[in-house]
């Protein structure tokens, strides 16, 4: 027996279809200025951590969601606080890679 042929979808409202395709690619990111972006000093001797868990988690989440390599993720994440008029530094490739493999 042959399988039934699925009916072909016909677009009748092209303006709504076009708008839905544009919305599919939209990205909204919220930054809370009260979020601890920098690490809390440990009080121990030696090098201190620079970035908090929120900064590293944001970088790694965007890396996984977008499937970007580390350098492109760093560049993308660096542009987001600038859009929000926040003067926050972004973890470098080596720092985020260090935290990911830890």
Alpha carbon distance 86, 44 (integer Å): 29
Q: Which of 49, 41, 51 is nearest to 90 (CA)?
A: 51
pLDDT in tens, the chain (102 residues): 678 888 887 888 888 888 888 777 777 778 787 878 788 888 888 877 777 788 878 888 888 888 877 778 878 888 888 888 888 777 765 554 555 545
Question: pLDDT by residue (tens digit) across 56-69?
Answer: 788 888 888 888 77
* Residues 58 and 77: beta-carbon distance below 8 Å: yes
Global pTM reads 0.58
């Amino acid at each position: 027996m042959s399988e039934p042929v699925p009916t072909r979808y016909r677009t009748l409202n092209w303006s709504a279809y076009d708008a839905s395709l544009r919305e599919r690619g939209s990205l909204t990111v919220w930054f809370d200025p009260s979020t601890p972006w920098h690490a809390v000093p440990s009080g121990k001797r030696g090098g201190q951590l620079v970035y908090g868990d929120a900064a590293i988690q944001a970088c790694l989440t965007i890396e996984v969601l977008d499937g970007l390599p580390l350098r492109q993720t760093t560049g993308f994440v660096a542009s987001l606080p600038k859009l929000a008029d926040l003067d926050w530094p972004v973890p470098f490739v080596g720092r985020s890679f260090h935290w990911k493999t830890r």
